Structure 1
Amino acid sequence: MNLTPADSTRSAAPVSLTPARSPSGRSAKKTAPVHTAVPTGSLGGPAAGVASVSNLTIKLTEYLTASELKKVKEAYRFSDEMHLGQVRKSGEPYISHPIAVAEICADWKLDAQAIMAALLHDVMEDQDVKKEELIERFGAPVASLVDGLSKLEKIEFQSQIEVQAENFRKMLLAMARDVRVILIKLADRLHNMRTLDAMVPEKKRRIARETMEVYVPIAHRLGLNAIYRELQDLSFSHLYPLRYRTLAKAVRSARGNRREVVSKVLEAVKGTLDAAGIPFDVYGREKTLHGIYGKMRLKQLSFSQVLDVYGFRVVVDSFANCYVALGTLHALYKPMPGKFKDYIAIPKVNGYQSLHTTLIGPYGTPVEFQIRTQEMHRIAESGVAAHWLYKDEEAGLTELQQRTHAWLQSLLDIQKQTGDSAEFLEHVKVDLFPDSVYVFTPKSKIIALPRGATALDFAYNIHTDIGDHSVAVKINHEQSPLRTELRNGDIVEIITSPEGRPSPTWLAFVRTGKARSAIRHHLRTINLGESIELGKRLLTQALTMLNLSADLPQSLIERLLHESGAKSLDDIHADIGIGKRMAALVARHILGLFENESLTIPLFNESGEIIPSKPEPVVIYGSEGIAIQLAPCCLPIPGDGIIGLLKRDQGLMVHTADCEQAKRQRAKEPDRWIDVVWGEDLNRRFDCHIQLLIHNQRGILARVAAEIGEADANITYVGMGEDNDSVTTHLRFTVQIEDRIHLARLMRNLRRIPGVIRLLRERG
């Protein structure tokens, strides 16, 4: 997936129209740029071809002062001069694109600085205009906005994916500092999508996919529903053109067939609301083609089975009348059970508020209604653009602004805790899913989380320190595991302990980017020494297999660091230790550097091939800390045959050699498995699960527990379940033992107890 926030419809002009370039790459100073027979826009600059600025001028005159209009005019003239001779794929002069972006921003009533940045948003990227020049001409705020919108094409990266991720990170961090960056970027993307027909099919699909996966969720997260719906439909039309055309044709046909139903409903609704004395406006609304397509796919329906293609929006004058209108409509038509949602009492995470209800209309047709006030309608369509905010204006923020500010701040928190751009992008995308679950703190504060979020995600949402020290949770006043998935309406209380620490196993079930980045940050920093030590051992093992010494020349180390993007050899060792880099691939890279640097490569045979060498297995003592873990699925103990899996960001996971889960994983990722063995003189105890089937006899549990104590084993957990016949019972123990010999002695003693029918070591 291409995540570069690029202008999708840019094209180089014919050579004869391209501005002269100086040797440095900056545009040479232009002398009296000539426009031949072109109309002049109201902003005072010439508008080439169809690039008229009259519409923009009309929109800006409505709310900008004369002095602000003058500054916008200067920005337009500079942009027009910089883009002179540049055309789009459609053949239009390139300046038409910045003008169109500025018009969309003007519809949102963004301020003069944002409009200027919209007009200038491509000059740094296309014409090598320096930020310092923009600061001098238009001021630091405008220059910062333009810089946040510009790509990082001049920096050398290791891969195209890294370029895309870093560009996206730059844009989002600029957005976290000033939300106007993303508003301008969304306006830029909207105009590009509207004019995408000029592109070749392959590029259309790439840009449409990027829009659907990144920009559509951002628009939804910021509450920009109008642009969200339009971007969705435009992306759908370019990703699946045949499906789009077929569905559009079906909807056009359905309009005629359902016109009678719609007119009957509209007439009845107006009559009943008039009779109730409620001031109102009612609008018919049609679901977007992408919305219809999504419902058909989700519920496996044909188009004829999607009955609620049409709906109505009722806009009333006050909060209270929303509920009066709801009762009036429910008296008119019967509501469908389970189809009522109150987003006024509990707004969506993006600030959206409305009452949603589906009623059984004429001829048994379901009809959807949305009921809201005029202010709710304005925010529903424009979201944060209706109240775009600055970081230094926290006093008096609306609830929508506070939620948006909190999300933007979380981007900065994730950035601080993230290792690289790709990881940052992974975390942020997780939080862009539109579906949310709403839960309550013990003090009844509402917290919105992505659907599928767990109690641990809730803890990290409150504060990173609470997440890091979480040990238990109460959900609806009952003790529950931290991995419990939350449901709407849950009351969640986190229990913390100063001794609590994040575990690598938490990464397997947390859902939010904030939680994931905080856990990874902790594992990467607190356990850095352990990870470095493990990484050294694994790299030494991999180098041994290639008959290379781990004692590398300094010149080769410097070259390795430069090519890998690491700051030090310890960084590489740490990445290997947490599974972020593969030791075998790093070793191969080092071998290639030996060849490139013309250094002597030891232990080659006469044919020039590397002599295979049996690597020494990694020794496990069980006390290495969090960098080496014993797999919970099989709980290996000393004496078991063991193998090791290097898991990304979780270090080395040790399984028993006969573990079924390990066998399945090894078939999928054979390169991540290494040989491991138990060390000597292990001075700790290991958890082991045992299960007993016993006769229900008085005192038998006490006898079993006493026997475990006599065998010098410690019980850390006991559970029981009664069989259906009430004659036998299953007992499950977690005991701490030294090794297999100790376990065998314990099990031999337990079998001697009268009443014990069956005994086994439990796996998983």
Structure 2
Amino acid sequence: MQTDLLDSQSDTPVTINKLSGKKSIIADLLAQSSRHLFGPTSSPTLPLKHQVVSIEGLLSKLTYLKPEEVVQIKKAFQFSDAAHLGQYRHSGEPYITHPVAVAELCATWRLDAPSIMAALLHDVIEDTGCTKADLVEKFGNKVAELVEGLTKLDKLEFQSHAEAQAESFRKMFMAMARDVRVILVKLADRTHNMRTLDAVPIEKRRRVAAETIEIYAPIAHRLGLNIIYRDLQDLSFRYSMPMRFRVIEGAVKRARGNRKEMIEKILQASRMAFAKANLDVDLRGREKTLFSIYNKMRAKHLSFSQVLDVYAFRVTVGSIDECYRALGILHSLYKPMPGKFKDYIAIPKLNGYQSLHTTLLGPSGVPVEFQIRTTDMHAIAEAGVAAHWAYKDGSPDMSEVQNRAHQWLQSLIDIQDTSGDSQEFLEHVKIDLFPDAVYVFTPAGQIRALPRGATALDFAYSIHSDLGNTCVAVKINGLQLPLRSELKNGDIIEVITSANSQPNPGWLAFVRTGKARASIRHSLKTKHYSESLQLGERLLANALRQQGVDAALLTPEIWEKLMHWTGDKTREEACVNIALGRRSPQELAIRLKILVDDEDGGEQMRLGTGDWVAPQQEGHHHQRQAILVDGREGNSISFQSCCHPIPGDNIIGYLGKGEGLQVHANDCPTALRMLSKDSDKWVEVEWGKELNREFEVDLAIDTRQGKGVLARVASSVTSADSNIMNVSMEDRFKEDSVTIRFTIQVYDRLHLSKVMRSLRTNPDVMRVTRTRAG
């Protein structure tokens, strides 16, 4: 078993004899495995670690496979048994008992032979010296690929445990997207580990339980494996909150006795009603899981005695028509509760689940839930996507479940393609694992399922990333509404696009789906990268001119030598690092000058690591040329709020690490303090000739106190064609005046002068000054 999808699995093998990975040793160990026969389990009087492990239980479940496939499974057991020889679980059992138990779980889903073999071998790469090549040679590429997909990335180095965990989950999700059998075996592995979690330390139990409830249980639900989903939920609840688990478990046992008579009465009345209507049904009662009861108590602030629908009844019939007949019979027997009917047959859940749900008022007014479904629907409801291997007839119901699973798995690949790193990918996937859904329609009448809370913009991205990126407006049920409008069941959404539209960073605040968030972030990063690349190229070109280097002389060979020194992969990456302040443009220009001189056969100057400054050639002085800014550079250049520089001000630029070029007024107190401490990161900048945007500036306006003063002062600002971005007031009680602080937008110093003249002509205004936060 995997020691953790990152050190969080329940059991780490205790190794006595570790394999070296050489084929000869594997062969020797295979020969030694004769003690693990296929006969009955040895006497229980033997110590656990000396007991013989049997796979008779597994073989009894494999009657659906061909004899030659069963032979291969026996060989996989022998190989795994030999590989894990000398390893034991925390419980003291031979480690091979775990892979066998995982294989038995997979067999209950009637998975194919490669899946059963992968279950038996799923830890041999990670916990022994076996390699993928060994598995390919013994069992073929398909089995080896499945086992590799189940193996964690323990040989890579990561910056943190969180990063390592995210990368391991990313690998698992990608392997799962390629072949869903990977996650089925992994869920069987996690389920057996959770069932045997008592043997590990308490802290590890809680860590594993938290990981299970956060990741594995939602995956099981998303793929429709409801038996495993409920099992993982209750087991996680048991180990993460043991006291609450025991309290609710005891309460359910007591309620079971108190409500036994009522349950029998409901079952008898329902069976009589179905018999009278000549409808053949299978009627069974079942308790809700302890975790679902606890969740309901917590969400609705109820005591256990107030949770009345602890028990539910399942009605299984032969056809869809009979489902609706059974619903009518039950509604004639007990009164239905308004708003408590859901038709998941007409509109299945995201994971393909289909049933009719109705809550009725039973005897004594106690709410009772009934779930009505066909036999095929029940199989899919319990086994979900795993039921695919149990069906050989290719029924349309089954293909629909497979299609839904395929669509979700494909969305994981889309998210991976647009995510920056493993932690971001995991963040997006977690969002999509929540099961609740809302069902909406395209204008053509196609139904689409989105997570509850999804917005109109999420809908656009669910159709296609390009549609979301160019979305400018939406119509919901014919009305134009904001992009952040939350969708409701039955909404019809029309997306309006513009070729010139681009994603807005503000969209991240309200989109709900992982695909939308990943696409927006990817688009913003791409745009920021392009802006940073252009700025970095300008900064480097300016520094090269100062060194007297003609950029045309920079051959690919020179760039390759520079990349070898900087460690950057490409010239573009080096320029982006310059723009982000991670590297000095002057430093790179000096290095490039050395390389050019060396290539031209001039004075040989060795690449060093000191702060060498290129000497000026006699009689040649290269004028320092400033970087031109015009406010259209996007995120790569920022105009600092401490001084709010505007065109006409003398300005200076600072290359903050990872923050791009920061522009300050050159008399800004903040800039002057930074300049004295870190002078080598400052570059000369000047305003460009074409400026077509507005810049913010702060004003302090002393006015006389009186009614309507603020409105009249604001009118003076707007009459000068300026927009007010922010306003605040502070009283001066010793003087009969008040200071109003405005942040306004102007085009340049001339426009600012116009605004200040307009204010000074206002009889309420006593003084106007431009202020700086620094």
TM bin, normalised by shorter chain, reads 0.7 to 0.9
- Do 2:8 and 2:207's aligned partners in 1 also have CA atoms closer than 8 Å? no
Partner AA of 1:60 in structure 2: L
Moved more, 100-109 or 394-403: 394-403
**Residue 348 of structure 1 aligns to a residue in which SS?**
coil
- 1:106-159 CA-to-partner distances (Å, cap 9, x unmatched) read 111111111111111111111121212211111111111011011111222333
| Aligned position for 2:62 | 60
- Do 2:467 and 2:497's aligned partners in 1 also have CA atoms closer than 8 Å? yes
- Do 1:39 and 1:48's aligned partners in 2 also have CA atoms closer than 8 Å? no
| Aligned position for 2:333 | 332
Partners in 2 of 1:378 and 1:687 — Cα distance? Answer: 64
- Do 2:174 and 2:412's aligned partners in 1 also have CA atoms closer than 8 Å? yes
Deviation at 1:737, TM superposition (A): 5.5
Say how many residue pairs are matched: 643
Flag the 1:652–1:329 CA change in 2: closer, same or farther, 3 A: farther
Partners in 2 of 1:268 and 1:629 — Cα distance? Answer: 74
- Do 2:475 and 2:481's aligned partners in 1 also have CA atoms closer than 8 Å? yes
**Residue 518 of structure 2 aligns to a residue in which SS?**
helix
**Residue 151 of structure 1 aligns to a residue in which SS?**
coil
- Do 2:21 and 2:128's aligned partners in 1 also have CA atoms closer than 8 Å? no
- Do 1:354 and 1:371's aligned partners in 2 also have CA atoms closer than 8 Å? yes
Q: Counterparts of 1:100-139 in structure 2 under 5 Å? A: 100-139=101-140
- Do 1:353 and 1:372's aligned partners in 2 also have CA atoms closer than 8 Å? yes
Q: Counterparts of 1:557-706 in structure 2 under 5 Å? A: 567=569, 571=573, 574=576, 621-627=630-636, 680=687, 683-686=691-694
| Aligned position for 2:208 | 207
Moved more, 293-302 or 678-687: 678-687
**Residue 480 of structure 2 aligns to a residue in which SS?**
strand
Partners in 2 of 1:148 and 1:440 — Cα distance? Answer: 37
Deviation at 1:325, TM superposition (A): 1.4
| Aligned position for 1:418 | 419
Flag the 1:567–1:428 CA change in 2: closer, same or farther, 3 A: farther
Q: Counterparts of 1:330-729 in structure 2 under 5 Å? A: 330-387=331-388, 398-532=399-533, 567=569, 571=573, 574=576, 621-627=630-636, 680=687, 683-686=691-694
- Do 2:470 and 2:497's aligned partners in 1 also have CA atoms closer than 8 Å? yes
Partners in 2 of 1:576 and 1:265 — Cα distance? Answer: 75
Q: Does 1:30 align with 2:37?
A: no
Partners in 2 of 1:687 and 1:481 — Cα distance? Answer: 28
Partners in 1 of 2:760 and 2:273 — Cα distance? Answer: 79
Deviation at 1:463, TM superposition (A): 1.0
- Do 2:316 and 2:375's aligned partners in 1 also have CA atoms closer than 8 Å? yes
| Aligned position for 1:91 | 92
Pick from 747, 754, 761 the counterpart of residue 738 of structure 1: 747
Q: Counterparts of 1:302-317 in structure 2 under 5 Å? A: 302-317=303-318
Partners in 1 of 2:197 and 2:145 — Cα distance? Answer: 28
Flag the 1:20–1:489 CA change in 2: closer, same or farther, 3 A: closer
Flag the 1:466–1:59 CA change in 2: closer, same or farther, 3 A: same
- Do 1:211 and 1:231's aligned partners in 2 also have CA atoms closer than 8 Å? yes
Deviation at 1:244, TM superposition (A): 0.6
Partner AA of 2:692 in structure 1: R
Flag the 1:170–1:742 CA change in 2: closer, same or farther, 3 A: same
Deviation at 1:506, TM superposition (A): 2.0
Flag the 1:31–1:285 CA change in 2: closer, same or farther, 3 A: closer
- Do 1:51 and 1:96's aligned partners in 2 also have CA atoms closer than 8 Å? yes
- Do 2:35 and 2:52's aligned partners in 1 also have CA atoms closer than 8 Å? no
Partners in 1 of 2:683 and 2:427 — Cα distance? Answer: 32
Partners in 1 of 2:532 and 2:444 — Cα distance? Answer: 41
Partners in 1 of 2:165 and 2:434 — Cα distance? Answer: 20
Partner AA of 2:216 in structure 1: Y
Flag the 1:277–1:751 CA change in 2: closer, same or farther, 3 A: farther
| Aligned position for 2:555 | none
Partners in 1 of 2:246 and 2:694 — Cα distance? Answer: 64
Partners in 1 of 2:79 and 2:348 — Cα distance? Answer: 43
Partners in 2 of 1:417 and 1:308 — Cα distance? Answer: 44
- Do 1:27 and 1:127's aligned partners in 2 also have CA atoms closer than 8 Å? no
- Do 1:4 and 1:167's aligned partners in 2 also have CA atoms closer than 8 Å? yes
- Do 1:296 and 1:303's aligned partners in 2 also have CA atoms closer than 8 Å? yes
Q: Does 1:172 align with 2:176?
A: no
Q: Counterparts of 1:222-233 in structure 2 under 5 Å? A: 222-233=223-234
Partners in 2 of 1:492 and 1:654 — Cα distance? Answer: 44
Partners in 1 of 2:278 and 2:229 — Cα distance? Answer: 35
| Aligned position for 1:192 | 193
Flag the 1:211–1:396 CA change in 2: closer, same or farther, 3 A: closer
Partners in 2 of 1:648 and 1:53 — Cα distance? Answer: 61
- Give the % identical residues: 56
Partners in 1 of 2:287 and 2:448 — Cα distance? Answer: 32
**Residue 173 of structure 1 aligns to a residue in which SS?**
helix
- Do 1:5 and 1:151's aligned partners in 2 also have CA atoms closer than 8 Å? no
Pick from 1, 13, 26 the counterpart of residue 11 of structure 1: 13
Partners in 1 of 2:495 and 2:312 — Cα distance? Answer: 42
Partners in 2 of 1:284 and 1:157 — Cα distance? Answer: 50
| Aligned position for 2:74 | 73
Deviation at 1:504, TM superposition (A): 2.3
- 1:378-423 CA-to-partner distances (Å, cap 9, x unmatched) read 1111111112699xx9999722211111111111122222222112
Deviation at 1:25, TM superposition (A): 13
- Do 2:213 and 2:232's aligned partners in 1 also have CA atoms closer than 8 Å? yes
Pick from 45, 49, 52 the counterpart of residue 51 of structure 2: 49
Partners in 1 of 2:450 and 2:273 — Cα distance? Answer: 39
Partners in 2 of 1:676 and 1:286 — Cα distance? Answer: 71
- Do 1:534 and 1:627's aligned partners in 2 also have CA atoms closer than 8 Å? yes
- 1:202-232 CA-to-partner distances (Å, cap 9, x unmatched) read 1111111111111011111101111000000
- Do 2:440 and 2:488's aligned partners in 1 also have CA atoms closer than 8 Å? yes
Partners in 2 of 1:648 and 1:442 — Cα distance? Answer: 48
Flag the 1:217–1:31 CA change in 2: closer, same or farther, 3 A: closer
- Do 1:388 and 1:401's aligned partners in 2 also have CA atoms closer than 8 Å? no
Flag the 1:48–1:39 CA change in 2: closer, same or farther, 3 A: farther
**Residue 482 of structure 1 aligns to a residue in which SS?**
coil
Partners in 1 of 2:370 and 2:578 — Cα distance? Answer: 56
Partners in 2 of 1:679 and 1:745 — Cα distance? Answer: 23
Flag the 1:252–1:479 CA change in 2: closer, same or farther, 3 A: same
- Do 2:30 and 2:78's aligned partners in 1 also have CA atoms closer than 8 Å? no
- Do 1:353 and 1:376's aligned partners in 2 also have CA atoms closer than 8 Å? yes
Deviation at 1:507, TM superposition (A): 2.0
- Do 1:131 and 1:147's aligned partners in 2 also have CA atoms closer than 8 Å? yes
Partners in 2 of 1:599 and 1:648 — Cα distance? Answer: 20
TM-score norm. by structure 1 comes to 0.74
Partners in 1 of 2:390 and 2:36 — Cα distance? Answer: 43
Partners in 2 of 1:346 and 1:479 — Cα distance? Answer: 27
- Say which one has the larger Rg: 2
Partner AA of 2:204 in structure 1: K
Deviation at 1:738, TM superposition (A): 2.2
- Do 2:273 and 2:329's aligned partners in 1 also have CA atoms closer than 8 Å? yes
Partners in 1 of 2:185 and 2:457 — Cα distance? Answer: 35
- 1:415-455 CA-to-partner distances (Å, cap 9, x unmatched) read 22222211211111111111111111111111111122111
Deviation at 1:235, TM superposition (A): 0.6
| Aligned position for 1:692 | none
Flag the 1:70–1:299 CA change in 2: closer, same or farther, 3 A: same
CA RMSD of aligned residues (A): 4.6
Partners in 2 of 1:225 and 1:124 — Cα distance? Answer: 30
